[in-house]
Amino acid sequence: MDRRQFIKTSGYAAVTTGSGLLLPTSAFAADDIAVGSIHDLSGGLDIYGKPMLDALTLAIEEQNAAGGLLGKKVRLVSYDPQSNMQLYTQFAQQAALKDKVAVVMGGITSASREVIRPVLGRAKTLYFYNTQYEGGVCDRNIFCTGVTPAQTVGKLVPYAMKKWGKKIYVVAADYNYGQITSQWVKKFAQENGGSTVAIEFFPLDVTNFGPTISKIEAAKPDMLFSALVGGAHISFYRQWAAAGLNKKIPLASSTFGVGNEQIVLSAEEANGYLLSYNYFQSLATPGNTAFLQRFHKRFGADYPNVTELACGTYQGFKLWAEGVKKAGSTDQLKVTAALESGIGVEGPSGKVTIDANTHHCVLNVSLAEVQDKKFKIIQTFDQAPPSDTSAVCDLKKNPKDNQQYVIKA
């Protein structure tokens, strides 16, 4: 989506100031409950951030229409970090210390999460990270509602190997998500009798993939696995197709589609890609059908596609709201304790339940294939646990743990 198309399909009830802060146009009382949103609305990661803010906007509007929380209206305070880590730090401090939000929903890359996580921890402001990531974060002040490699890569790699073959070439973004996820690909390949031919990493601003594509062609793998991230990396898929390799070497990905890449590319360029996520817009369930009706009523019937990350943000807010209701308070520790009681919601993706030991989620995972800019569901796995993170994190036993473990794949 380009910026003009996005604005057309979004319809924010907000105005922008020079500071990058977005505030709702409707005024609430001084004793409302503020929810902070730190999502990239510009820069190289805006392809992820804009739909996430839309989903959070809808969730808050629905909550207010149902009477709010604790008898108060919920107010959205949204900041645009512009894909800049320094602004992430600045806005996390502003949200917690100046704007006194009850919770922050935000962060896209793991780098952005690790920038704001300690800031919010010191400020005792609860943090929801609603993005798929590499796993291993163990911190009582954060709830990670997105999928981890054990839940997705662990399903995708064996399926793709059975379909295509055992030799895998990996291309990934050069930061902790890509580096760690690539090791999970290697692990699951070996466990299923396969191997990784090579693993290559790319900074988020790289747009020229010609030399790597030549190396992949020469290596002749049975399949390519992509963990590329961001707007610049869409160039890989275009160059891959231009070289004719999308017709010769099949591709699976743990990131493709969460930024609506399948819409930006032509159908011919992306058809046949295999993916695995908690949510696809094409899920044929009553809960998802009803959600999409509400979403499209709010943002327009021509909204391109509701992404995995948008759904995760919607579900993340719903989980937090259930915690607030059970706690009878927005107090950080009281809400945390309530959430640790095993709170769950029926979201667009199905049942989502917080695992108290890890502050991650037990949820459904589906395999899908890209077909004509849409996703065809192949198989769904019910209630997949975050088994990678649970192997290293036990917050019931060690509630003061506060780190990201690099899980030995």
Alpha-carbon gap, residue 143 to 339, rounded angstroms? 9
Task: Please list, in sequence order, all residues whose beta carbon lies within 8 angstroms of the beta carbon of residue 225, skipping any fewer than 6 positions away.
Answer: 157, 160, 168, 169, 170, 171, 182, 185, 251, 252, 253, 254
Q: What pLDDT is recorded for position 408?
A: 72
Alpha carbon 390 to its chain's center: 19
DSSP state of 207: -
Q: What is the pLDDT of residues 119-142, one digit of tens each?
A: 999 999 999 999 999 999 999 999
Q: Mean per-residue pLDDT for 327-338?
A: 98
Q: What is the pLDDT of residues 45-80, one digit of tens each?
A: 898 999 999 999 999 999 999 999 999 999 999 999
Q: What is the pLDDT of residues 366-384, one digit of tens each?
A: 999 999 999 999 999 999 9
How high is the pLDDT of residue 378? 97
CA distance 260 to 49: 11
Q: Which of 223, 228, 234, 237 is nearest to 156 (CA)?
A: 223
Q: How many CB atoms lie within 10 A of CB 159?
A: 16
275-293 pLDDT, tens digit each: 999 999 999 999 999 999 9
Residue 218's pLDDT band, with cuts at 50, 70 and 90, is very high
**In contact, 49 and 39? CB cutoff 8 Å:** yes
**Distance between first and last Cα of the chain:** 35
- Beta-carbon contacts of 88 under 8 Å, excluding residues fewer than 6 positions away, are 38, 81, 107, 112, 115, 116
Phi/psi of residue 223, nearest 5 degrees: -160, 160
10 Å Cβ neighbour count for 86?
10
Minimal CA–CA distance to 221: which of 172, 152, 164?
164
Q: How confident is the model at residue 409 (pLDDT cuts 50, 70, 90)?
A: low
Please tell me what DSSP assigns to residue 97: I
Length of the chain: 409
Q: What is the pLDDT of residues 380-407, one digit of tens each?
A: 999 999 999 999 999 999 999 999 998 7
Using a pLDDT cut of 90, give the percent of the chain over it: 88
Residue 15 pLDDT > 70, yes or no? no
Convert the pLDDT of each residue in 188-215 to its tens digit.
999 999 999 999 999 999 999 999 999 9
Q: Which two tokens stand for residue 253?
A: 């990905």
Q: Which amino acid is at 9?
A: T
Residue 115 structure tokens: 């920038």
- Average pLDDT of the chain is 92
The answer to whether the CB of 210 falls within 8 A of the CB of 239 is yes
Write down all domains in the chain, each with its CATH number in brackets. Answer: 3-147+283-364+383-404 (3.40.50.2300), 153-253 (3.40.50.2300)
**Mean pLDDT value across residues 85-105:** 97
The model's confidence at residue 312, banded by pLDDT at 50, 70 and 90, is: very high
CB 169 within 8 A of CB 219: yes
| Amino acid at residue number 125 | T
Cα 288 to Cα 155, 285, 315, 343, 363: the distances in Å are: 22, 5, 12, 20, 15
CB 203 within 8 A of CB 214: no
Q: For residue 148, give the nearest of 316, 384, 367 by alpha carbon.
A: 384
